[in-house]
Copies of this chain bind each other. A is one copy, B any other.
Amino acid sequence: MKIELNRSSPVSLVEQIYQHFADRILSGYFPGGSRLPSVRKLAKTVGVSPVTVVQAYVLLEKENFIERIQGKGTFVKDFYSEKGERNKEENILQQIPDYVHRTQDMYYDQQLANIQFSSPIVHPDLLPTEFLVNSMQQLIQKEPEILAQYGEIQGDFELRKALTNYLKREKIDVSPEDILVTNGSQQGIDLVARCFLGPGDVVFTEQPTYPAAIDIFRSRGATVIPVPMDHEGMRMDRLTSLLDTYTPKLIYTIPTFQNPTGFIMSQKRRRELIELANEINCLILEDDPWSEIYFDQSPPVHIKSLDQHGNVIYLKGLSKILSPGCRIGFLVASGVILNRLIAAKTNADMGNPLINQKIILPILQTNIISHLLKKLRDTLKQKRDLSLQSLSDFAPASVTWTRPQGGFNIWVTLPQGTNTIDLLHHLKKKNISFLPGSACYPSHIEWNHLRLSFSYVSDQELKKGIKELCLSIHEYLEAPQGKNRQAPLF
């Protein structure tokens, strides 16, 4: 087993070993039932004192990741029972060492649920598919040769031009030269990480945050330091005091309708954040998955709009609101930063397919995009209201939730001591899915939250699903061991 310990990191060796195992257990990579190496063996393998390993194991045990069985050894707890069953006899030392520690097995399973609250995606019925089909038909009649052409690595120039107009309405004033088209917004995060993050580098993120971002940062060997939030977003007092210990190279934030909480970073905090980034000379990655989808009033101006020194990389995905089939996202950056991101894109895949960029072009060039967004806002607002109503109607009194003013998600909190992975396991039998909140924590995991995405399901499913979810929560809380435990129950 390979554990990349960084001896010059401000993160202690105990914490690093703890994190190594916690990530892999949480992701299902080390399945329930597999045996951890003995203290002595691990200490020798990674070159630390046995005391360090013992402390890491104690921490893991305390957080219910592992259990010691007298005379047998130390084992991973059964987070995902079925899988654990299959791999019961596996020894962790036999795993092939790799660098994608934390990627969630979950991504696969969840697509299959009948009532899926797990992915913040829009139901196909709400997307402009018919329009895109027309656009595609015209395209291949007029320019069939684009199927045989490589596009520009930076992205099709016409598309980048259309995007600048789109951004202008969003009060981000840039030229086509400042835009890099990516294969979905996920690749945008990845390109930033592969350019600017490596072993020993520190990233600050909101706590909780988007799980895939944690995965990507960790897979570069970077240390992810969580910054607590309140209803105005990242807490600047906490961020400032973290600067005593850590020097971040990047601050990753989802300021508007934050994923998963739905919080909005206030205008004031946005200004403070960018001032701070200028001061300590670090980059901000502003991830904006759905700021257009506001329900009440339009959100504060983007951090990128306040950026005068080029410290902010703005990231936007269009798959969610236009067409997953096209997988188009883009980054806005400038100067050397952008040049390096283009170099990384070259390394990654030599550019997006041209045709997918051309297909969405007419929607962006016309006013159709505005109509589409209005329709999405109206429909999703209704779904939000229905979700909130259903939660009010059916949820146990000890459960709380956010009231998002935009976006696709509600953040639901169960009483302390519960674990929503337990609950998910139970709900799978009812064919209902959600995202266990624990996936959103880089460290200091809280187990008692879940993210409910209301964007995909029909109104009928929404009502039925939330009712069922609440019933299961009732059952879970009333079960004899329902409280004060974190290992699987059902």
Using a CB–CB distance below 8 Å, which chain A residues touch chain B? Answer: 4, 95-100, 103-104, 107-108, 111, 121, 124, 127, 129-130, 132-133, 136-137, 140, 144-150, 153, 183-184, 186-187, 190, 194-199, 212, 215-216, 219-221, 319, 323-327, 336-337, 340, 343-344, 346-356, 359
Contacts and interface: CB of A to CB of B under 8 A. Distances in A.
A291 B45 CA distance: 43
Contacts of A133: 140, 144, 147
Nearest to A29: B343
A124 B96 contact: no
Contact of A127 (B104, B108, B127, B148): B148
Nearest to A213: B347
B195 A98 contact: yes
Given A107-B350, A137-B137, A186-B348, 10 more contacts: A98-B340, A107-B153, A127-B148, A212-B346, A212-B347, A215-B347, A219-B347, A324-B354, A325-B355, A327-B351
Given A147-B326, A195-B100, A347 B137 contact: no
A326 B340 contact: no
A404 to B, nearest CB: 23
Copies in the complex: 2
Given A136-B140, A343-B103, A348-B187, A198 B356 contact: no
Nearest to A319: B150
B199 A219 contact: no
A99 B197 CA distance: 7
Contacts of A184: 349-350
Contact of A108 (B124, B153, B327, B344): B153
Contacts of A111: 150
A355 B349 CA distance: 18
Interface centre among A121, A140, A359, by most chain B C-beta atoms within 10 angstroms, is A140
A347 B360 CA distance: 24
